Structure 1
Amino acid sequence: MTAQFVADVGGTNIRLATVVNGEITDILKMLCNEHPTIEAAIKYYFSLHPEKNFTSGCIGIACPVNQDQVTMTNHSWAFSKKALQETLSLEHLSVINDFTAVAYSLPLLKGEQLLQVGEGQPIEGANIAVLGPGTGLGVEHLTAVESGWKTLDGEGGHVDFAPTNEDEIDVWRYVSARKGRTSTEDVLSGQGLTNIYNALNEKASLGLQKRSPAQITTAALDGSCDTCLKTLSIFCRVMGAFAGNIAANLATHGGVFIGGGIASRFTDFIQKSEFRTCFEAKGCVAEYIRHIPTYIILEPDHGLIGAYAFLNQQLASVDNE
């Protein structure tokens, strides 16, 4: 049986799946450390499905992929795209950034895979944006082209942080005093939660109170720490304001989506927060922004879905040449 494979590779885990007739099946999650190389991990997956003849595949991976040689930032795996394709005996192999895969999944997500925050209706075929607060802050735009969709790559998470009230100015001061500059990623990330929390403690002369991002989130949600609650509230405000900025930047009437490893952990809190208010608070273009919908991605395998969407589009393009 002829089949395709897709992979979603992070610094800790690799997810692999089979695509047959457009269906993603046989998802396997493994620790990257279980295999010495990505080649060994993929060959192991192939060995579990001897009845399938894998002819093409797409790997979404958490590192730069603009050269033939791919070296993971947070893991020891490194490989040549060309050599890996030859070793795996594939007719076609695409290797894309993991956030590119996230972006390509967006037009396919619907229903229970998403949670809408606030009002707004998407316009079919319109530009889309996604931001992903996690270890860092990923940002990607997606625009429709004749062949399907195209990502507009960049480093949007590293733009200057723009505070909108006194609390956020205190956070800006706290980070800038230590780094010389405050990027949006310094506030919208795991480390960002810690930076907000530390800035509030410093402002209140409470000294350094060591808490991890997970501990801050937990204490905010169970109501055991007022400072943690304020930290998470500020985080949601900033996330909403930044989402509104990237919506305005490229007229994303197809929606703004939130991925990453943080937001999906406290969706109810985001719904009740000032996220959407800050998203729409754009002065003379507020009415323009108000109609753009915002969503939290709930689908855990959106990276695999996006890798398949990219692969499918690439293969269609080759067939039409």
Structure 2
Amino acid sequence: MILAGDIGGTRSRLAVFRPGDQRSLVERHLPSAEYDSLSELLADFRREIEADRQIEWQNIDAAAFGVAGPVAGRPGEEVARTTNLPWTVSAARVGELLADVPVRIVNDLVAVGLGAMASPVRRREALNPDATFDGGHVAVIAPGTGLGEAVFHHDGHRFLPMPSEGGHCDFAPNNAREDELLAFMRRRCGGHVSYERLLSGDGFSALYAFAREHQLGRAAPDADRRLSEAEDRNALVTRMAISGEDECAQIACRYFARILGAEAGNLALKTLPFGGVFIAGDIAGHVLPFLREETLAGFLDKGRFTTLLGRMPLWVVAAPDLGLVGARELAEQELNA
């Protein structure tokens, strides 16, 4: 059997699979912040599943984990320092806990990318109807708590992940209104404005505040009260946009969708992923109607290279479990290596 994990700053998803089976034998969601280390979290997971007599721990033959943070080291010897947790995650240490089975640790966006590429066509939303699939490299961009970007280089036989911190690159306006948005964000951020500032969960609140300050539309009559009481302001902005009750929320989501397309196009120009560009993650699903309307236009708005980008597939894969699926794929590769 194989163990897969999607390790986030707030929540971790762990599951055990039989090789070749996409349905988990057992799955648990655990609050990451309540543990001092991945080892401690895994020990709790082991106690739970063995108490239920569902899985024998010694029957796990390989494991892989997507971790939110930079990862260094050779395959099987990786060490990660988590971004939103005070953890250092070592493949060697986890391997000891699993009786020295093969263990891989990768950046969470690499896991998400592997999950997106493994997704069946029926789970993908194609945004570029004129694309021609030539195969080759793949690029992944995933708005979430931050903005993840990665490339998967195809060497003729397999995909080799190349993680990046491209989400922290400078935001570049494409029109006069976005010039105003950049100035607004510089004041809000106190200086440097990255794409992540706009293309992440918190980006919805920032874009909504911009639309309100510049009076680009009418806000819902009770918007201020609801926002002040909301547990998640960003989620409320997207809900008000989808329901059509708040014009500023709709404008915020349109900006989000178009700027996401523009940055996906930037990533595509830098890496030439004729195997396709994936927009991945749960947030994309929440604003999918706006992605259908705006994202391709942003993606193709590249002057002389519009025709080149017009050949590239642009997909949305909005499943919330992509990180876990990708970790499962990686663990299975280790098992079969």
Q: Could you tell me which of 8, 12, 15 is aligned with 1:14? A: 12
What CA deviation, in whole Å up to 9, does each residue of 1:9-55 have, x standing for no partner? 11222222223232132241322257662232442365231287112
Q: Could you tell me which of 240, 243, 249 is aligned with 1:222? A: 243
Please tell me whether residue 278 in structure 1 is matched to residue 298 in structure 2: yes
Q: Could you tell me which of 269, 273, 295 is aligned with 1:252? A: 273
Please tell me whether residue 40 in structure 1 is matched to residue 43 in structure 2: yes
Query: C-alpha displacement at 1:279, in angstroms?
Result: 1.1
Please tell me whether residue 186 in structure 1 is matched to residue 197 in structure 2: yes
- Mean Cα displacement is larger for which, 237-246 or 142-151? 142-151
- Give the TM-score normalised by structure 1: 0.88
* 151 and 70 in structure 1: CA distance in 2 versus 1, 3 angstrom threshold: closer
Residue in structure 2 matched with residue 202 of structure 1 by the alignment: 213
Equivalent position SS for 1:274? helix
Query: C-alpha displacement at 1:268, in angstroms?
Result: 2.5
Residue in structure 1 matched with residue 133 of structure 2 by the alignment: 123
Residue in structure 1 matched with residue 59 of structure 2 by the alignment: 53
Residue in structure 1 matched with residue 113 of structure 2 by the alignment: 103
Structure with the higher strand share, 1 or 2: 1
Residue in structure 2 matched with residue 26 of structure 1 by the alignment: 25
CA contact (8 A) 1:122 1:255 kept: no
* 46 and 69 in structure 1: CA distance in 2 versus 1, 3 angstrom threshold: farther
* Distance (Å, rounded) in 2 between the aligned partners of 1:69 and 1:39: 17
Q: Which runs of 5+ in 2 are unaligned?
A: 228-232
Query: C-alpha displacement at 1:158, in angstroms?
Result: 0.7
Q: Could you tell me which of 280, 288, 308 is aligned with 2:328? A: 308
Give the RMSD, CA atoms, in angstroms: 2.6
Residue in structure 1 matched with residue 264 of structure 2 by the alignment: 243
Amino acid paired to 2:309: I
* Distance (Å, rounded) in 2 between the aligned partners of 1:61 and 1:137: 14
* Distance (Å, rounded) in 2 between the aligned partners of 1:200 and 1:170: 11
* 250 and 70 in structure 1: CA distance in 2 versus 1, 3 angstrom threshold: closer
- Mean Cα displacement is larger for which, 62-71 or 18-27? 62-71
- Give the TM-score normalised by structure 2: 0.84
Residue in structure 2 matched with residue 158 of structure 1 by the alignment: 168
- Mean Cα displacement is larger for which, 33-42 or 222-231? 33-42
CA contact (8 A) 1:112 1:298 kept: no
Query: C-alpha displacement at 1:131, in angstroms?
Result: 0.8
Paired residues, what number?
314
* Distance (Å, rounded) in 2 between the aligned partners of 1:99 and 1:41: 25
Q: Which runs of 5+ in 1 are unaligned?
A: none
Query: C-alpha displacement at 1:173, in angstroms?
Result: 0.4
* Distance (Å, rounded) in 2 between the aligned partners of 1:142 and 1:231: 31
* 27 and 304 in structure 1: CA distance in 2 versus 1, 3 angstrom threshold: farther
